[in-house]
Homo-oligomer: A and B are copies of this chain.
Amino acid sequence: MDRVFQYIDAHRAEYVELLRGLCRRPSIAAQGIGLNETAGQVEALMAEAGIHARTIPVEGGAPVVYGEVKGKSPRALLFYNHYDVQPPEPLEEWESDPFGAVIRDDRIYARGVADNKGNLVARICAVDAMLHTLGETPATARFIVEGEEEIGSVHLPRFVREHPDLVAADACIWEAGYRDIQENIVLALGVKGICYVELEATGANRDLHSSLGTIVPNPAWRLVWALSTFKDRNERILIDGFYADVLEPTDDEMAQLRRIAPLRDEAAQLRSYDLDRYLLGVSGVELLKRNLFQPTCTICGITSGYGGPGSKTVLPRRAVAKVDFRLVPNQRSEDILKKVKAHLAQHGFADIAVRALGNEEPAKTPLTADIVKVVSDAARRIYNREPLVFPTMAGTGPMHVLTGAQGIPTIGTGVGYANSNGHAPNENIRIADYIEGIKHIAMVLHLFAGGR
């Protein structure tokens, strides 16, 4: 493997430029921007690395880029990534162009560089380095790169149904992982599901003078009242039956949380957020348990009326909230959507429209799966650290549809770090993490194929 690592070090500048090039292309699924073009660029990147790549159209959605390189061993490792990114807004909070891929302090700043283009290009580069030095990869590598992850992978289920052969694998490396604030390598074995809804209250057919506040219905008030029935101030979600299917963590999982908790520097993480304490004052094992095993009800946005400087005395015509429910086993997104609608009707808010903007199911791989040992061992070798294996993560992804339902053991690893600002302004990764991440993936392929 030394030759592979030397090759990676020698091509450091080139590998950085490949990533910056991909980051310069906006690919915003929520806004339908640049998806076909970016898929084309991913296919080209793979082809140049020697991966057999093709862009597969998906009816009504963004195309999937599929890549494959046959390996020495018959074992197949699937890489799941996505080329779409979150919207860059609020633009005024970025210190450089979100699609400029500017380098400052040995970091690359760009929307999507951490989530998920950095991981994607690192994996392509790992294969590139192995093909150039070894002439082949130790195991078969497959790539599924979709373009709708940030809007709930809406068309991926159809893709999986139509192309089951492309998804077949002995294990899967999930899209992401990161170094925490103490530089611990964080690996994770599952994802939460999600039920993302947009709620809209409407009033008169136009904005009106706020002196009519005594006699004209105000949709902003309707929305506030409705939302306030969703969750109480102790963070208890009040929707009837919401917690009915929530599974408690297993004994294995709790033991793992107790192993991880002391290794994390919560105080440093809090300082980086400028916060005094976590919500409800939780910490340690309790904090991990809450974050990984409890579902959420999060207001991601509210918009109504005037939001500019100073005062405007207006009675708004509409009010919109975006709310995500992150789900844990065995909650099901369709069931939660039904319960949200029933809740609104029961509480006298049948006038509030509910639009489902995304749904995914939770998924989890057992801590005892072989791939967990492979990726952990590779991490020990590359990073000289004991990785933190999280039984699941707080984030969401289409793990259930891609590998969970097929029983393919899946683990996430990647090149982010504690201040990568995923989904937020000034998203960035450190170049050193990116280069180590390429080596880590090469080592994973090596060990996965039985290498020593």
Contact = CB atoms under 8 A, between A and B. Distances in A.
Interface of A: 29-31, 86-87, 89-90, 93, 150-152, 192, 194, 196, 198, 203-218, 220-221, 224-225, 227-228, 231, 233, 235, 273-275, 278-279, 282, 287, 290-291, 294, 296-316, 319-320, 322, 324, 326, 348, 357-358, 393-396, 421-426
Contacts of A299: 218, 220-221, 224, 304-305, 316
9 contacts: A31-B309, A90-B207, A196-B313, A209-B422, A211-B326, A301-B306, A302-B303, A303-B307, A311-B324
A302 B220 contact: yes
B311 A300 contact: yes
A447 B393 CA distance: 80
A6 B429 CA distance: 76
Contacts of A224: 224, 227-228, 299, 302
Contact of A228 (B29, B198, B209, B228): B228
Given A313-B196, A423-B314, A273 B208 contact: yes
Nearest to A222: B233
Contact of A312 (B30, B220, B225, B297): B30
Contacts of A425: 206-207
Given A29-B310, A30-B312, A214-B291, 17 more contacts: A31-B309, A87-B306, A87-B312, A89-B306, A90-B207, A209-B395, A214-B235, A218-B299, A224-B228, A224-B302, A228-B228, A233-B348, A300-B313, A301-B316, A302-B302, A302-B304, A305-B322
Contacts of A196: 311, 313
B310 A31 contact: yes
Contact of A221 (B215, B221, B231, B313): B231
Contact of A152 (B203, B213, B311): B311
A155 to B, nearest CB: 14
Query: Ordered nearest first, which 10 A-B pairs have the shortest CB separation?
Result: A30-B310, A301-B305, A303-B307, A213-B298, A228-B228, A220-B299, A213-B296, A211-B394, A205-B274, A301-B306
Contact of A320 (B211, B307, B320): B307
A216 B291 CA distance: 10
A111 to B, nearest CB: 11
Contacts of A423: 207-210, 312-314
Contacts of A421: 206
Nearest to A395: B211
A301 B422 CA distance: 28
